[in-house]
Chain A
Amino acid sequence: MANENARPQRGTFLTVMTVLFVLLAISDFAKPIQFGHPNAAAGIVEFGRKFHGVTPNLILGTLFGILFLVYAYGLWNLRSWVLPIAIGYAFYVPYNVVLFTYREPPVIRSIPFIVIWLAVALTGSIGTAIYIAYNHETLR
C-alpha cells in the first residue's frame, strides 16, 4: 500500500534515473572484468584519474557500485537521506569530468560524442539533484 502511494509521486524522471543508476552500479561492479580485454577505455575514473589494473578497479568499482545502488534505492523509495547524496554527486561528476579532461587529455573524441555524453552525465547528476531539491517535500 505504501509502495503504491510512493510510485505515482516518483514520476517518470526519477524512475528512469533510478534504472540508469542501477546500470551504472552494474557497470562499476564489472570494471575489473574489463581488464580481461584491456583497451584504452578500460578502467574506472574517479577523482579525475583513471585507475588501471584489476585490484584498484575491484576495490573502487565495488565501492562506487554499492554507492550507486544505495543512491538508486533512495531514489526509488523517495527517502529524504538521498538529497545529500544527490547534491554531493551533482558536484562530484563535473569535478571528475573536468579534472579527467584536464589531467588525461586527448583521446580525441568528436564534439557530438562529448555533447551527448555530457547530456546524459549531467542530467543524471545535476538534473537529479535539482529535481529532488525542487520536489523535496515528496521525500520521506
Chain B
Amino acid sequence: MANENSGASRGWFLTVMTVLFVVLALSDFTKALQFANDPAVGGLVILGHKFRGVAHNLMLGPIFGLILLTYAYGVWKLQAWVLPLAIAYAFYVPVNMVLFWSLHQLAPPSVGFIVIYLFISLTGSIGTAIYLAYHRERLS
C-alpha cells in the first residue's frame, strides 16, 4: 500500500529518470569492458578528463555506478536526501561536457547527434533537479 502511494506520487517523469539512471549506472560499471573492447571510444569521462586504461575504468566506473544507483534509489523512493544529489548532478553534467569539449580535439559528431545527446543528458540532470525542487513536498 505504501509502495502504491509512493508510485503514484512519483509520476512517470521520475520513473523514467530512475530507469535511465540505472541504465547509466550499468554503463559505468562496464566501462572497463567498453574500454577494452574499443579504446578509441570507451572510457569514463570525469570533469572533462577521459580516463584511458582498464585499471582506471575498473576503479572509477563502479564508484560512479554506485553514486548513480544511490541517486536512482533516492528518486525511486522519493527520499529527501536525493535533492542535494540532484542539484549537484545538474551542475556536474554541463561542466563535464564543456570541459570535455574544451580539453579534447575530437572529430565532432553531427549536430543532430549532439542536440539529441544534450536533450537526454540535460533533461536527466537539470530537468530532474528542477522537478524534485518543485515537488519537494513529495520527498520524505
Listed in ascending order, the chain A residues whose CB lies under 8 Å from chain B are: 87, 90-91, 93-95, 97-99, 101-103, 105-106, 109, 111, 114-115, 118, 122, 126-127, 129-131, 133-134, 136
Contact of B122 among A95, A102, A134 (CB under 8 A): A95
Q: How large is the interface on B (under 10, 10 to 19, 20 to 34, 35 or more residues)?
A: 20 to 34
Listed in ascending order, the chain B residues whose CB lies under 8 Å from chain A are: 87, 90-91, 93-95, 97-99, 101-102, 105, 108, 111, 114-115, 118, 122, 126-127, 129-131, 133-134, 136
Residues of chain B lying within 8 A (CB to CB) of residue A106: 102, 105
> Are A114 and B99 within 8 A (Cβ)?
yes
Given A90-B126, A130-B87: A97 touches B99 (CB 8 Å cut-off):
no
Q: Say whether chain B's binding surface is mostly helix, strand, loop, or mixed.
A: helix
Contact of B114 among A87, A93, A102 (CB under 8 A): A102
B79 to chain A, nearest CB (A): 16
> Are A98 and B114 within 8 A (Cβ)?
yes
Contact of A94 among B87, B94, B129 (CB under 8 A): B94
